[in-house]
Structure 1
Amino acid sequence: MRAFFPTALLAALLCLAVGPLVGAARAQDTAGSDPAGADAAQAESAARAEAAEDTAQAEVLPPLTQDELLQLGKKRGKLRMTSPETPRFKRYLRAASKKMEDSDYPGAKDLLERLNVGRLNKVELGNYYRLLGFLTYQLGDGPGALSYFRKAVDEESLPLRDQVNLMFSIVQLEAATENWPGVISSMDEWARFTPPSPLSFYLRAIAHYQMDQPELALENVEMAVFLEPEPPESWLQLLAALYVMKEDYLSVTPILEELVVRFPKKTYWVQLSLIYGASEDYDGSLSVQQLAFLQGFLTEDRELRRLARSYVFAGLPYEAASLLDAGLSDEKIEPSPKVYELLANSWIQAREFDRSMKPLEKAAALSDDGNLYLRLGQVYMAREDWSNAAKYFKQAVAKSGLKAPGSADLLLGIVYYNEDDTGEALRWFRRAKKYETTRKTANDWMDHIAKETQSS
């Protein structure tokens, strides 16, 4: 059986997991939109789909061995010795860095622009482009920063540790600008120089998710969460959302349990109770809902009604009725025929018959058909309150739309028989004879009345 999980909650999980990473870039794009924005967005989407296919087909080079990394490090060290930075270059770079520390970005840019790029050696160019990339990023130009960072890496002159850090900055900038194929290819290049980190697996997962590759996204975020002793909230959100997409409720349960413990928010309590319900662990679902209610998380109409239904399902009708009564009094639950019917049924199951009458009357009055009036008449009939039973059966007939046509007529005949009004009873039994479902029973009653009349 296909289990149910609200689409809105799945969307919320994905929004919370992915949103912080891409929100700023989207806001920047929106601010600069023009009348051709929709066409541009479609073109960009098509381009990225093509790029995703190209990325999938691109050859991924294997990681460098320890010996290769050692030799590369020695080569870079030798380059820095044979092509050292000039005192003038160092002075300008230190001055520009100081201005950046003081948030004087225009001043830093002015200093760097005084350098003659054509006269810089490879070592100087690597450091120059790296600093210019950080400056450009601070000035709000992400694509420009990416360009300078790539130039710095391409000089092949930075110390390996600095290059690895810069390459990961490229990965993060690709993610911030939503170039998801770029994230994957940059990550592959970065991973040649260093073992992947938990964060790198998470970024790769985000990229695959954005490229409509949920299986690869799940594989990577699982690894990220496994490697990180205390994974951030957004990592757990993405993992939970991807499990829900697969309807893997067994796997998502411990993730939501961790979210509830470490980040106790209403969203996670509601999601966890839904997951227990989807897994047919109704006791677990009710327990989670009760805890959430006690902490003040369940305040909305649909949440309180759901808790009430869970109480009824668990055989706790009194608790359900008390909850609904309080919710209606506090105006947290919106009055409706279904709510009043649920309240009445809960009181009836709790054997609080007197308390069931008023909500059932309200439900019947608000309903579009006469079925609840029929039910109300049956309750009075069970209590042998023939007058009220007749009153509500007649209202059921007048409102019509009964699921079992003729049932109210038949019951009215029985009511009047018990009030010793055989003439009125026969009139209603004749009406009941018109319906196939009540014809036989109506005839039996009429025969019974005829025999009684003859014997008297």
Structure 2
Amino acid sequence: MKKNLFSTVLLTAVLAGLSATEAPAQTATGQSEEKTRKTPALTSKVYEKLSSAQKAVDEESFASALSALNALAGQTGKRALNSYELANVFNLKAFVLFSQDKLSESVKIYRKVIAQPDIPLALEQNTRFTISQILMMQEQWQPALQELNKWFKLATTVGSNAFVMRAQVHYQLQNHDRALRDINKAISLYENKGKVAKEQWLSLARFLYHKKGNLKAAVTTLNKLLIHYPKKMYWLQLAYLHSELGQEKKQLSALESAYIQGLLDKEKELTNLAYLYLNASTPHKAAVLLEKAINNKHLKPSTRNLELLANAWRQAQELDKAVDVMEKVAPVSDKGELWIQLGNIYFDSEHYDKAIQAFKSGLAKEGVRRTDLAQMSLGMAQFNQKEYQAARRSFLLAKKDKRSTSTAKKWLTHLKKTEQREAALQ
């Protein structure tokens, strides 16, 4: 499988032979290399032996191929190979070692290829690129970067893939600025040809923008990803970025878009959207979402979730539905707070007798967040039921908490005047 990393041009160049002189190379900036290279000829005898070794490689007879190549490289005297012939021998030998997963040995032999004088520029380019790939496979990032930078200086043209490759190396070396510059160059080259940048390129750019704190650029990149590669994770990332930017409406829009597409199925995702609906003063949407999620078993009918559902129905003024939910959850809970919430719903729907019982049940249990407010609510329900003495006791208990002292005093005054007025009428 590793063989697929390499261009077949490298091996075909070995056997086909290159011209004695090559056109001046251009750097990545388009500047021509000043010197042309005169390359020694590849003799027919060496070519035939290389062809034979190549055939052995194709048949995966690696031992046979290596034996032939070592014999070629070891020829001395009049039969000694010239620099170009040696480069071809080392090139094929390095490939054989690579094919046997002997990566470090392969790199050593590839370096012998570029150590030969007067080899064709294309062969040096391909070899350096190959070395950098193998070093990346071995996670030797700094040496890989050095080889890549040398390749960039020699390359006649530099395509998007090379910039992506170097961006990945920079990323591994924590050079985020340089990685971002290279990945953006790759994306730009691709898009200038009318092509859609690859998903992993855009994803890396998005990550690097976020790492640098450039959230707006990260959002722009995510929007590209969603246009060309719509996926749940990108909607969630977009919502998260809008949250970081304090753009709650856009955060809601992103999550809602994912929900409409049926992409949200985890409890946290669904409850987050429900809370955003509540914060946006659209409680009916929150209630419908929660109820549907519970019915579809995407959301557990836990006390917490049912409490949230009841509150959503209550805020939506769907009091009967809120009561139905809370009547199920409050009796099976040890939390007094749920009884208080049920009492408040009864109070809102003017069922004061039921509200009184719910408030009393809640106050008899632990877990009531604000007992002073619960006593105030109980007192008001008792007042509406004309249970004035009981209401007075509730207001006096609420008065003991400084947070409710002022309100309790007002209600006690109002209660006294009401009693006096009714007594006078009688």
Trace 1:300-449 onto structure 2 (pairs within 5 A): 300-361=266-327, 364=330, 369-449=335-415
1:204 matched to 2:166? The reply is yes
Cross-structure match for 1:166: 127
Cross-structure match for 1:91: 48
How far residue 407 of structure 1 moved from its aligned partner, in angstroms, is 2.0
Cross-structure match for 2:36: 72
**Residues 342-351 or 145-154, more deviating:** 342-351
5+ residue gaps, structure 2: 6-26
Q: 1:128 to 1:300 in 2, by over 3 A?
A: same
CA contact (8 A) 1:336 1:366 kept: no
1:122 matched to 2:83? The reply is yes
What letter matches 2:36 in structure 1? L
Q: Distance in 1 between matches of 2:372 and 2:167?
A: 62
Q: 1:107 to 1:262 in 2, by over 3 A?
A: farther
Q: 1:296 to 1:410 in 2, by over 3 A?
A: closer
Q: Bigger radius of gyration, 1 or 2?
A: 2
Q: Distance in 2 between matches of 1:379 and 1:367?
A: 17
Query: Which residue of the other structure, out of 141, 145, 151, is the alignment partner of 1:184?
Result: 145
1:399 match: secondary structure: coil
5+ residue gaps, structure 1: 1-20, 25-60
CA contact (8 A) 1:85 1:123 kept: no
Trace 1:169-248 onto structure 2 (pairs within 5 A): 169-194=130-155, 195-229=157-191, 230-248=196-214
How far residue 177 of structure 1 moved from its aligned partner, in angstroms, is 1.2
Q: 1:361 to 1:207 in 2, by over 3 A?
A: farther
What letter matches 1:354 in structure 2? D
How far residue 256 of structure 1 moved from its aligned partner, in angstroms, is 1.4
Output one character per residue of 1:160-182: Cα deviation in whole Å (capped at 9) or x when no partner: 11221121111212211111111
Q: Distance in 1 between matches of 2:247 and 2:392?
A: 52
1:149 matched to 2:110? The reply is yes
Output one character per residue of 1:34-56: Cα deviation in whole Å (capped at 9) or x when no partner: xxxxxxxxxxxxxxxxxxxxxxx
What letter matches 2:47 in structure 1? K
Q: 1:418 to 1:64 in 2, by over 3 A?
A: closer
TM-score after normalising by structure 1? 0.76
Q: Distance in 1 between matches of 2:401 and 2:251?
A: 44
CA contact (8 A) 1:126 1:156 kept: no
CA contact (8 A) 1:409 1:429 kept: yes
Output one character per residue of 1:35-92: Cα deviation in whole Å (capped at 9) or x when no partner: xxxxxxxxxxxxxxxxxxxxxxxxxx99895252xx332x22xxx13xx4350x3222
Q: 1:283 to 1:420 in 2, by over 3 A?
A: closer
CA contact (8 A) 1:64 1:193 kept: no
Q: Distance in 1 between matches of 2:63 and 2:262?
A: 51
Q: Distance in 2 between matches of 1:256 and 1:366?
A: 45
What letter matches 2:375 in structure 1? D
How far residue 447 of structure 1 moved from its aligned partner, in angstroms, is 4.8
Q: Percent identity?
A: 29
Q: Distance in 1 between matches of 2:56 and 2:331?
A: 75
2:371 match: secondary structure: coil
What letter matches 1:405 in structure 2? T
Q: 1:299 to 1:440 in 2, by over 3 A?
A: closer
2:72 match: secondary structure: coil
Q: Distance in 1 between matches of 2:148 and 2:138?
A: 15
How far residue 208 of structure 1 moved from its aligned partner, in angstroms, is 1.9
Output one character per residue of 1:381-405: Cα deviation in whole Å (capped at 9) or x when no partner: 1222112111221132123444433
CA contact (8 A) 2:322 2:345 kept: no
What letter matches 1:204 in structure 2? R
2:308 match: secondary structure: helix
Q: Distance in 2 between matches of 1:219 and 1:365?
A: 61
1:437 match: secondary structure: coil
What letter matches 2:386 in structure 1? D
Q: Distance in 2 between matches of 1:405 and 1:67?
A: 84
CA contact (8 A) 2:73 2:86 kept: no
What RMSD, in angstroms, separates the aligned Cα atoms of the two structures?
Answer: 2.9
Q: Distance in 1 between matches of 2:85 and 2:356?
A: 99
CA contact (8 A) 1:273 1:286 kept: yes
CA contact (8 A) 2:83 2:118 kept: yes
TM-score after normalising by structure 2? 0.81
Q: Distance in 2 between matches of 1:306 and 1:241?
A: 23
Paired positions, count: 389
Q: Distance in 2 between matches of 1:257 and 1:366?
A: 46
Output one character per residue of 1:111-166: Cα deviation in whole Å (capped at 9) or x when no partner: 33443525333122100111111111111122222111111011134321122112
What letter matches 1:216 in structure 2? R
**Residues 280-289 or 410-419, more deviating:** 280-289
Cross-structure match for 2:21: none
